[in-house]
A and B are shown apart, each in its own frame.
Chain A
Amino acid sequence: MEHIFDFSQVTTWFHELLTQTLGLGDFLAILIECVLVGSAILGAYSVIAMILIFMERKVCAYFQCRIGPVRVGPWGLMQVLADVLKMLIKEIFFVDKADKLLYIVAPFLVIIGSVGAFSFLPWNRGAHILDFNVGVFLLTAISSIGVVGIFLAGWGSNNKYSVVSAMRAAVQMISYEMSLCLCLITAVILTGTMQVSGIVESQAGPWGWLIVQGHVPALIAFVIFLIAGNAEANRGPFDMAEAESELTAGHHTEYSGMGFGFFYLAEFLNLFIIAGIAATVFLGGWAPIQIGVEAFDEVMQYIPGIVWFMGKAFLLVWLLMWIKWTFPRLRIDQILKLEWKYLMPLALINLVLMTVIVAFGLYIK
């Protein structure tokens, strides 16, 4: 793994620049770095959201034998830019009898949950933003803030449709977090650490990806993770909460302009975050494909880690979009039945299986 580009070279160089060359004090240097990193996160968030929205429109169009946006800019690339411009200038108004505080706070909570989880993703060796030693655990905790946001939006809108939809969404998201966490814990058992950078480092050797190391239980955990993640993000066959053909627009019926824009963005980014975590934990994150053959491995390591990470994440996003545009949606009681009767017991059994395998050393080293 020597040839892979280590981003910590850049970060240490920059820190040296600020403290040594410019002679700034510690506090000021860290302040400047924090501001830079914060704007980088928000910038990356928005840009990836726009790429994802465009990708969804094109992918969905090609599955449906149509062409999708092509007129706005070459091959329709400027379409999302036009959408964003329009959403920014829409009138924002407040519903008269709505609970003002809850109504205003709800979109922000959703965004906070989403950006918080986004910051945990490892982009490259050395390019981690939040890297606590309880990494994965804290990640699931922060992403739960989004549930509160949805629930507040439904209640605060003073609209019967919104309430029904918000209740469905809350129940669904809380249920599926169980399976999600169980799958992550299954992976943590194998890697031995909850720290995100540690998880990726343990997959960095030849045939190192967790899905190969852990063979059967890791594969089961991966599939369960994708299903549960889909449900967490309110996408695909599990989008009862905003089932358009039933409850008009669900919990964000009464939002317009940028308030609605936040929900729209957060939905796509949640999808990306799920795909990103799956790629990190099961598919090796930024670690390239290593098969033990010297020459091949060296070539693979010259491709930067961020390309590997984004590639894996977008592949999983495409897979999840494929699933969404093919299957009809499940009813809410069927969603809950799937989780409590099938997925969670399976995840528990899988956890035990993985423990046995690790205890007896039966994994592929």
Chain B
Amino acid sequence: MKLNHLVFDFDKFAQEMQNLKDKKHFDFLVTIVGEDFGEGEGLGCVYILENTENHERCSVKMLAKVVDGESVIPTVTNIWKGADLLERECFDFLGIKFLGHPDMRRLFLRNDFKGYPLRKDFKATDEYTLDDDVEPDFGLEYSLDRDGHLQQKENKLFSSDDYVINIGPQHPSTHGVLRLQTVLNGETVKRIYPHLGYIHRGIEKMWESMTYPQTLALTDRLNYLCAMQQRHALVGVIEEAMEVELTDRIHYIRTIMDELQRLDSHLLFTSCCAQDLGALTAFLYGMRDREHVLNVMEETTGGRLIQNYYRIGGLQDDIDPNFVKNVKELCKYLRPMIKEYMDVFGDNIIAHNRLENVGPMSLADCINYGVTGPAGRASGWKNDVRKNHPYDMYDKVNFEQVTFDSCDSMGRYLVHINEMYQSLNIIEQLIDNIPEGDFYVKQKPIIKVPEGQWYFSVEGAAGEFGVYLDSKGDKSPYRMKMRPMGLSLVGALDPMLRGQKIADLVTTGAAIDIVIPDIDR
């Protein structure tokens, strides 16, 4: 989608954003893109909003005002709670201070990191220290006083008799390196402070110095279980900006591959959910069946985890001659296996006791925090990008959007199981009818994207994954940002888990399906 930014004045900004939410019903904050707009404009943010009723999207561009040498923008955390972590990210990478945000600390980088990486004048050094980071136990809140000067206030994060343990970063659960600073009261969780950035690899900064074809390689390594879908988002935004016409064959194959990838991710999800709850046998059964899906994909793409399949203008190579036959066999094999997972694990009374009423989040909260994907659908929010903003063949196949209204982890688990059945339905509708044609539409050797801003999103297995592209007509992007699937989920962990037990923390962390490299980028 090509973005036409709305621009507001600094003084009217807070009021106008409130109007956008209340009057025009833009209640879902998709993402906040922090950007260094260059010499003339300075630092600023682009807000992308969606109206959950008619699925209309709009974008707002806000330039930061320079006050006392610092760039400031008023916060929107009181309007959309999901902006909490997003604004901390902008502060972390660009140094924009948000007025009124209660906890303006860095999010991804160490507290003693010097500089702001995404500014255009940032000079990288390879130095790092092996000493532990100094972590203050207060957050800063900035505001403007009557003379228009910047002042800060300290908000204490912990009280003196709080029992704080760190869950992570080295953690036996398979979700990666996430550190949750948990304040406990016996077994009950009082508050959770997530610390991210342990796998922050600076992909967005690296992208600014790569050509467009070079940028593709890194997307597979984000949420490594949604490799195809993430590559799809990146390739999709570039192709939309360049207005590339793809053949039908490409559309069909991309849809089928996306759905196979979704099966892969959901199988690993059910396995890891079982493992985190202690049922290791169910874990191994799910991984065994995942190997079958990987076999099918590996025959065509050559990769089990890192697929490297889509490129700008089409696919890397045509599908294997055995692909259609293998996919049909896979679909026939997998249906009874999914029922087996429910028999072994999902319908078990212990699993019900562990998953029901754990990590509850109401529908209104889900929209406010931006909890997309299966986690949001378990609360009844119809947020499937394949239905709301269809791409490829999704508007031409029959499939249901699976929602529950239990709002808890049991619902999230069941959504994943039922989505597997829906994916199989989609694949079976498409697999016999792949049209003939080219698998690659030839592009120029040097790819240049015309000037403008675009945003394109796909339904990844864990949520909405989108890519924002700001191009100045070069062969490298000026700014490319990803909307991670998991960042809003991590931001929502705190309200989900207040008053629950430590065991519920692990269960909820497993049930919302986060993969950390996708959050940290």
Contact = CB atoms under 8 A, between A and B. Distances in A.
Interface of A: 60, 63-66, 160-161, 164, 168, 237, 239-240, 243-248, 325-334
A164 B165 contact: yes
Contact of B172 (A64, A160, A248): A248
B288 A65 contact: yes
A64 B284 contact: yes
B354 interface: yes
A160 B348 contact: no
Contact of A64 (B187, B281, B345, B502): B281
Interface in B169-208: 171-173, 184, 187
A329 B278 CA distance: 5
Nearest to A159: B165
A269 to B, nearest CB: 22
A245 B506 contact: yes
B165 A161 contact: yes
Q: Is the interface of B mostly helix, strand, loop or mixed?
A: helix
B3 to A, nearest CB: 42
Contacts of A332: 187, 501, 503
B274 interface: yes
A244 B172 contact: yes
B504 interface: yes
A337 B351 CA distance: 16
Q: Which of B184, B354, B501, B503 has the most CB of A within 10 A?
A: B503
A244 to B, nearest CB: 6
Given A64-B284, A65-B284, A246-B502, A328 B172 contact: no
B334 interface: no
Contacts of A329: 277-279, 350, 354
Nearest to A61: B284
Given A243-B278, A327-B348, A333-B187, 16 more contacts: A64-B280, A64-B281, A164-B165, A237-B278, A245-B172, A246-B503, A328-B277, A328-B279, A329-B279, A329-B350, A329-B354, A330-B350, A330-B353, A331-B503, A332-B187, A334-B354
Interface string B469-509: 00000000000000000000000000000000111101000
Nearest to A246: B506
10 contacts: A164-B502, A245-B173, A245-B275, A245-B506, A246-B172, A246-B506, A328-B354, A329-B278, A331-B354, A334-B353
Given A243-B503, A246-B506, A332-B503, A325 B165 contact: no
Contacts of A327: 278-279, 348, 350
A326 B504 contact: no
A160 B165 CA distance: 7
A60 B27 CA distance: 50
A361 B276 CA distance: 50
Nearest to A333: B501
B333 interface: no
Contacts of A161: 165
Contacts of A245: 172-173, 275-278, 506
Contact of A240 (B173, B274, B503): B503
Given A245-B276, A248-B172, A333-B501, A326 B506 contact: no
A243 B510 CA distance: 15
Given A63-B281, A65-B285, A248-B172, A328 B274 contact: yes
Given A64-B281, A334-B353, A328 B345 contact: yes
Nearest to A64: B284
B323 interface: no
B436 to A, nearest CB: 41
A78 to B, nearest CB: 25
Contacts of B163: 160
B79 to A, nearest CB: 36
Interface string B237-269: 000000000000000000000000000000000
B344 interface: yes
A326 B281 contact: yes
Contacts of A244: 172
B276 A326 contact: no
A331 B505 CA distance: 11
A239 B278 contact: yes
Contacts of B348: 327-328
A78 B474 CA distance: 64
A60 to B, nearest CB: 8
A328 B350 contact: yes
List the 10 closest pairs (A to B, CB-CB), nearest first.
Answer: A329-B278, A328-B277, A328-B279, A64-B284, A331-B503, A328-B278, A160-B165, A245-B276, A246-B506, A245-B172
Interface string B281-301: 110110010000000000000
Contacts of A328: 274, 277-279, 282, 345, 348, 350-351, 354
A245 B510 CA distance: 11
Nearest to A322: B281
A155 to B, nearest CB: 15
B179 to A, nearest CB: 14
A244 B275 CA distance: 10
A244 B354 CA distance: 16
Nearest to B174: A245
Nearest to B164: A160
Given A327-B348, A328-B278, A329-B278, A66 B354 contact: no
